[in-house]
Amino acid sequence: MSETYLVEPDVGFIKEVAKLGGQDLKKCYQCATCSVACPISPDTKPFPRKEMLAASWGLKDRLVGNGDIWLCHNCGDCSTRCPRGAKPGDVLSAVRAYAVAEYATPRALGKAVNDPSKLLILLAVPAVIFLVVGLLLKMVGINWLNFAPTGTELWQADYISNYLVDIIMVPTFFAAIAVFALGLTRFLGDMHANALLEGKTDRKTIDPVGFIQALIKTVPNIIKHNRFNECSTNKSRATAHMMVLFGFIGLFVVTGAFFAAEWVFHIEGPYSQINPFKWLGNLGGIALLIGGGLMIASRLGQKDQATSYKDWYLLGLVLMLGGTGLLTEMLRLGGMYGLMAVVYVLHLIFVWALFAYTPFSKLAHLVYRTVAMAYMEYSGRK
Ligand code: SF4
Ligand code: SF4
């Protein structure tokens, strides 16, 4: 029996997708070459042809809650073979960026993160927060912000105490988790509703135990980049992607360890250069720099693939986080304390931006794709 669907096109959605890098979408004439070329598309209801059709009709609701858009790893195989140059890989990437901004709350922040004219304002926010909170604490006698410390060997916490950093970063981190939790709850509900509508599943609700089991099964595939390795056009990107992912994981572990050292064990820094967590932090920073550099080189060399602001935002953040973190340490070891303080402030701004804006930026794909892949595993879509 044929499926009946009331078409309610959203012209604004088409324009937004075009702005986010899907500007060639209308060139598609539905030949389906892309679905055949895609190495990871399932045999039943393959992507990305159906998504190209939905996008050109402005069927926003069919796309933002469609788990298939997250199965795409933007390898570019389909875009290379598309006879019309419609760049389906980029269109799916743009739809994903739209979906992230749609699920994150507040939506206005999602739009701002994807708008280059708002970048300076977004980066000024953490600088103002640090200054205002630091000065307010000073007024009540807590001296966690010191513009001109004295001593023969200074380190970054002599300028901005780790306590000040933590009382700002920790709530920001948990606020980001809350934004993700709200967004993912809606996303999972929409994915399931779409799957029911398209006949991909017949289960009325999602069984949490079954979903968690599927999640546990999915994570190793993501860590090993199994899907990336099935691509051909941009296969080399798997290595760079892996470096950035492991860089972030390493730095996350180090941040947690030093947080515990400070608050639980009351061990004050600076920590020894041979401390293993310090080494892990250094390796994480280097992995971010090399991985980010490789990604930029790959993007610049790939003429079939559009690179929009959302891509540069993420790549810039990766490089700035790794670069300012390592430079802060090198300047301290070199005794250039004034410059170290400036670079450290920049580093804190980028770390805060990472926490606060991740649920709204391209980096959110880490979370949304993991959940979508787990859902596909759970619902039996291969
Ligand atoms: S995106 Fe290109 S390959 Fe895919 S259906 Fe459209 S024209 Fe064909
Ligand atoms: S970009 Fe790669 S993974 Fe995504 S639809 Fe195209 S071929 Fe498939």
Q: Are residues 81 and 213 in the same domain?
A: no
Neighbours of 107 (CB within 10 A): 12
Model confidence over 167-215: pLDDT tens digits?
999 999 999 999 999 999 999 999 999 888 877 777 888 999 999 999 9
Tokens matching residue 201? 């599943």
Q: Are residues 175 and 49 in the same domain?
A: no
Give pLDDT, residue 382: 67
CATH code assigned at 97: 1.10.1060.10
| CA–centroid distance, residue 75 to ligand 1 (Å) | 15
- Closest residue (by CA) to atom 3 of ligand 2? 72
- Closest residue (by CA) to atom 8 of ligand 1? 31
Domain boundary among the residues 103, 128, 154 is at 103
Domain boundary among the residues 53, 87, 103 is at 103
Q: Are residues 268 and 191 in the same domain?
A: yes
Q: Are residues 180 and 327 in the same domain?
A: yes
Q: Are residues 259 and 279 in the same domain?
A: yes
Q: Is 116 helix (H, G, I), strand (E, B) or coil?
A: helix
Neighbours of 167 (CB within 10 A): 14
Q: Are residues 291 and 324 in the same domain?
A: yes
Ligand 2 site, CB within 6 A = 37-38, 40-41, 47-48, 72-78, 88-89, 92, 231
* Helices 276-301 & 309-333 angle (0-180, nearest 10): 140
- Closest residue (by CA) to atom 4 of ligand 1? 34
Q: Are residues 44 and 171 in the same domain?
A: no
Q: List, in order, residues 6 or more apart from 138 with CB less than 8 Å away.
A: 144, 145
Tokens matching residue 271? 């920590």
Buried b vs exposed e over 63-73: b needs ≥16 C-beta within 10 Å?
bbbbbbbbbbb
Is residue 5 in some structural domain? no
Distance CA 241, CA 248 (A): 11
| CA–centroid distance, residue 277 to ligand 1 (Å) | 49
Task: Report which ligand 1 atom has the smallest distance to the Cα of 29.
Answer: 7
Closest CA relative to residue 12, chosen from 102, 147, 141, 144: 102
Tokens matching residue 303? 């003429």
Task: Report which ligand 2 atom has the smallest distance to the Cα of 71.
Answer: 3
Give pLDDT, residue 83: 96
* Helices 119-139 & 162-197 angle (0-180, nearest 10): 140
- Structural domain boundaries, residue 179: 109-379
Q: Are residues 169 and 260 in the same domain?
A: yes
Q: Are residues 241 and 99 in the same domain?
A: no
| CA–centroid distance, residue 301 to ligand 1 (Å) | 23
| CA–centroid distance, residue 27 to ligand 1 (Å) | 8
The parts of the chain modelled with pLDDT lower than 70 are: 1-7, 382
Domain boundary among the residues 103, 128, 155 is at 103
| CA–centroid distance, residue 292 to ligand 1 (Å) | 30
Q: Are residues 217 and 287 in the same domain?
A: yes
Neighbours of 246 (CB within 10 A): 16
Tally of domains in the chain: 2
